[in-house]
Structure 1
Amino acid sequence: MSSSLALPARGGSRLAVLVVGLCWLVVLFDGLDMFIYGSVLPHMLETKALGIDPGKAGDVGSYATFGMLIGALSSGTVSDWVGRKKTIIVSTAVFSLASAVCAAAGSLGVFSLGRFLAGLGLGGLLPSAITLVSEYAPRGRGALIVGSLMTAHQAGGIVAGFVALWTGDWRVSFWICVIPLFIGVPLAAKYLPESMAFLQAKGRDAEALALADRYGVEPTARDGERPAAADRFGAVAALFRGGLWIQTVLFWLASFGGLLLVYGVSQWLPSLMKANGYNLGSSIGFVIVINLGGIVGMLVGGRLTDRFGGPRIAAIWFGATAVGVYTLSVRMPLPLTYTVVFLTGLFLFSAQAMIYATVAARSSDDNRATAVGWTSGMGRFGAVFGPWLGGQLLATGSTTAGFTAFAAAGLFSLVFVSLTGLRRVQPPATSGTRQELTATG
């Protein structure tokens, strides 16, 4: 049976809007915190704040993404254990408090620790939020809903660009990133409902019925007997049973290249463009424009994925990203450069989001968060490598090599995400497994 709400009635729509709206808000803050480092980095390098240089800046970026790796790998399993809501709240609190550590840092070591801690929260939030909204998504609209959620991430990037331009001070920028602790955390704690599919998978039917009654919806119907509650490691092992291991590994490899692209370009785009001859204001402006393109791409990509399948659309998107990123290595008139940056953003961020949407659609209720979390987590190895690689290439003074390396990552992901569409594997039959997939290969 579908893990979406059984009735698309007024109550179900109201509940879905509430879930997506609150998750959109916290993911906006996630995007702000993620992009703020890349937005203030050109100024930090110019003023040599905390003794930073391009090589050290790449290391700091990798510390953050290493924290995201740990957060993503653990959050899916923890979310399938304690619930989506608690994981979202704790993750938001962690990256907000970590921004305060960065803002008050008196040395690069303390600043690096703050970025690592922020990474733990940032990595933990996104898989849980994606899982929650996909479980409340109307049938046949899963990828569109995930894409809509991910527009918040790009909106956060836009806010980060404006914050960097407005404040002109990296410490003030990081203090602004503490705001989610006082807005996002209280709102999520009070209003965000737990996943109905999670409650049922854990045998907490009374809570699921109470939630359904509160919003006037029907709880999801279930087939057969409920499986015994899986331990925290059994859900991971389930990703490799039968022929699923091939699909799992392919998605992990595609996610590696996708997140190498996302985090490498996000951190180094302003600095690479500045080194390519553009002024500082234009370089930060590219962060805003690439995220505007990302918002459009999430909505367009989500709709096309629901219609044509995730692997097919993601492969096209990764190919277009590779072309766009490589084109940026060529010095062009400013209006044309902004156009290319916008189009690159349109494909760049949504390609990775469609991987998440497809994994969520192909997973069962009792291990969906684990599947999304581990896909994100294994991809974080690329997220760790991307910022480091960009720093090393920029330190050599070769901007062309940087753009070429990131373009190659797009082609890498194109190959592996295409392979996931060649063989469609049905997950093991468990109650709540989606029979009507939102994104098929």
Structure 2
Amino acid sequence: MTSTAPPQAPRPHTFRTVFPVLGLCWLAVFFDGMDVNIYGAVMPHMLDDPGLGLTPATAGTIGSWTTFGMLIGALAAGNLTDWLGRRPLLVTSVVLFSAGSALCAAAGSPALFGGGRFLAGLGLGGLMPLCLAMVMEFAPPRRVALTTGLLMTSYHAGGMTATALGLTVAPSAGWRWVFWAGVLPALIAVPLLLKFLPESPGVLFARGQGERAAAVSDRFGLPRPTPVEAPAAGAKGRFDAVLALFRPGTRWATPLLWLASFCGLLLVYGVSTWLPQLMRASGYGLTSSVSFLLVINAGGIVGMLIAGRTADRFGAVKVAAIWFVLTAAGALLLKSHLPLGVTYAVVALTGIWLFSAQVMVYAATNSVYGSAERAAGLGWVTGVGRTGAVLGPWLGGAVMTAGNESLGFTAFALAGVIGAVAIALVPLASRIGTRGTARGPQARMDNAV
């Protein structure tokens, strides 16, 4: 396991060294965002298609199937990545959601369409924690939040692309062609990932490939992994990584991170799935209603850049808590039928806070968990959070079926408040957990506050 690579002058570990990994993961998450948002972008057209037989209640249920698949994918990826490797699982994730999109495009019934969305969800759920773990590992320690924010701009660029397809392709060629566009990731991203994406040095070291681990570390300016930092191999290692989430210093912070992620993903997927239809039910036209999805994702890109820089300076926990509160305020404002220009402004501002609040929850995990359990920690934070993603689309469908769209905005606001309280309590939970123990976890937590 000990590295035998010859000593060489290490490359400086700067923000520039993470660019190759960030760029490839950016591309993968771009297609993730496009696939997630395609459903909401074309839902008004699908509901108007008598040949498919989709109802608002069924549409909400199918949205929950997607996110249930994402829950399974996130948990599986977080626990298998240190065994099978991050690059193979990331490629598999892209192939799965591309295949799911193809099945949706060809589906002739809601049941078959739902099966395609579940399959896509498996891949979508696995991809996000893998990409986050990769960029966190390769990023300079003081630039983790910024790097995470830059990565997540791709999700919203993909969401804007999906909305543009919904506005241009769906009305003229039909909603099925928008889903056929979701096959592109398998053709574009997979070859690039296989050729250029490096494997995690920590994973390579844990698998006994010390020379390769040292070579990758030196190439990207990373410290060479040590037995303490590397994830333990085998089934016992994966089980130990999960147990580490509940050891002193993390045992109380872990469920709070799960709750914050639950609220954040309820907001992200509830709004992404139902915003056009909620706004349409509030009296806005079809084109304007779909355009709101474009605007909120544009706000999301700006928010990622603001949140990343701000969190590196003031701490991811503080930024996430404030952003959740601002998201709740935006959701309450959208309950009112405001003038169109004012509504666009509120939607854009809400997008700035909404999506980056969730991403800063992910960034906070970097300070709560050490290197050996980071992938498992991220996998469980995203995986358990997916229960919120399951609930969000279902909740939107139930509200629309009941004909009370304002209740949906109230529920989203409540989720923002609960998320703010949960993430704000993480530092206190870490202090309680580390009383009488080593100060390592708490020292990391102090940097995140």
TM-score range, shorter chain: over 0.9
Letter in 1 for 2:414: A
Name the structure 1 match of 2:284. 278
For 2:424 and 2:221, the matched residues in 1 are separated by 38
Name the structure 1 match of 2:30. 28
For 1:269 and 1:34, the matched residues in 2 are separated by 13
For 2:211 and 2:94, the matched residues in 1 are separated by 28
DSSP-derived class of the 1:22 partner = helix
For 1:356 and 1:7, the matched residues in 2 are separated by 33
Name the structure 2 match of 1:383. 389
For 1:435 and 1:76, the matched residues in 2 are separated by 25
DSSP-derived class of the 1:231 partner = helix
TM score, norm. by length of structure 2: 0.91
Structure 1 residues 49 and 353: CA distance shift in structure 2, 3 A: farther
TM score, norm. by length of structure 1: 0.93
Asked whether 1:287 is paired with 2:293, we answer yes
For 1:59 and 1:329, the matched residues in 2 are separated by 24
State the Cα distance separating 1:311 from its structure 2 match.
1.5
For 2:262 and 2:230, the matched residues in 1 are separated by 34
Name the structure 1 match of 2:303. 297
State the Cα distance separating 1:257 from its structure 2 match.
0.8
For 2:55 and 2:120, the matched residues in 1 are separated by 21
> Which of residues 373, 382, 385 in structure 1 aligns to 2:379?
373
Name the structure 1 match of 2:195. 190
Deviation per residue, 1:394-434 (Å, 9 max, x gap): 1111111111111111111111111112243589989x999
Deviates further, 85-94 or 196-205: 196-205
How many residues are treated as equivalent by the alignment? 434
Letter in 1 for 2:286: L
Name the structure 1 match of 2:41. 39
For 2:25 and 2:70, the matched residues in 1 are separated by 18
Deviation per residue, 1:345-371 (Å, 9 max, x gap): 000000000001111232222221110
- Counterparts of 1:165-176 in structure 2, within 5 Å, are 165-168=167-170, 169-176=174-181
For 1:227 and 1:90, the matched residues in 2 are separated by 21
Does structure 1 retain, via aligned residues, the 8 Å contact 2:138–2:222? no
State the Cα distance separating 1:161 from its structure 2 match.
0.4
State the Cα distance separating 1:12 from its structure 2 match.
5.9
For 1:92 and 1:108, the matched residues in 2 are separated by 23
Give the RMSD, CA atoms, in angstroms.
2.4
DSSP-derived class of the 1:232 partner = helix
For 1:410 and 1:99, the matched residues in 2 are separated by 31
Structure 1 residues 319 and 83: CA distance shift in structure 2, 3 A: same
Name the structure 2 match of 1:67. 69
Deviates further, 248-257 or 192-201: 192-201
For 1:19 and 1:414, the matched residues in 2 are separated by 31
Name the structure 1 match of 2:98. 96
For 1:283 and 1:193, the matched residues in 2 are separated by 41
Asked whether 1:259 is paired with 2:265, we answer yes
- Counterparts of 1:2-401 in structure 2, within 5 Å, are 9=11, 15-168=17-170, 169-212=174-217, 215=219, 217=221, 219-220=223-224, 222=226, 229=233, 230-401=236-407
Unaligned runs of 5+ in 2: 1-7
Deviation per residue, 1:154-202 (Å, 9 max, x gap): 1111000001111122100000010000000110011001112332344
Structure 1 residues 172 and 438: CA distance shift in structure 2, 3 A: farther
Does structure 2 retain, via aligned residues, the 8 Å contact 1:144–1:301? yes
Letter in 2 for 1:182: L
For 1:34 and 1:359, the matched residues in 2 are separated by 24
DSSP-derived class of the 1:47 partner = coil
Structure 1 residues 11 and 372: CA distance shift in structure 2, 3 A: closer
Where relative contact order (Cα < 8 A, 6+ residues apart) is larger, the structure is: 1
Letter in 2 for 1:406: F
Deviates further, 140-149 or 225-234: 225-234
Structure 1 residues 7 and 235: CA distance shift in structure 2, 3 A: farther
For 1:404 and 1:370, the matched residues in 2 are separated by 33
For 1:221 and 1:227, the matched residues in 2 are separated by 10
Does structure 2 retain, via aligned residues, the 8 Å contact 1:140–1:436? no
For 2:267 and 2:9, the matched residues in 1 are separated by 39
Does structure 1 retain, via aligned residues, the 8 Å contact 2:231–2:237? no
DSSP-derived class of the 2:428 partner = coil
Does structure 2 retain, via aligned residues, the 8 Å contact 1:256–1:381? yes
Structure 1 residues 7 and 302: CA distance shift in structure 2, 3 A: farther
Deviates further, 369-378 or 240-249: 240-249
Structure 1 residues 216 and 257: CA distance shift in structure 2, 3 A: closer
Structure 1 residues 224 and 16: CA distance shift in structure 2, 3 A: closer
Does structure 1 retain, via aligned residues, the 8 Å contact 2:202–2:229? no
For 1:253 and 1:101, the matched residues in 2 are separated by 33
Percent identity (aligned): 50
State the Cα distance separating 1:244 from its structure 2 match.
1.6
Structure 1 residues 44 and 365: CA distance shift in structure 2, 3 A: same
Letter in 1 for 2:196: Y
DSSP-derived class of the 1:366 partner = coil
> Which of residues 430, 436, 439 in structure 2 aligns to 1:424?
430
For 1:433 and 1:245, the matched residues in 2 are separated by 11
Name the structure 2 match of 1:3. none
Does structure 1 retain, via aligned residues, the 8 Å contact 2:203–2:231? no
State the Cα distance separating 1:16 from its structure 2 match.
1.1
Unaligned runs of 5+ in 1: 1-5
For 2:10 and 2:358, the matched residues in 1 are separated by 28
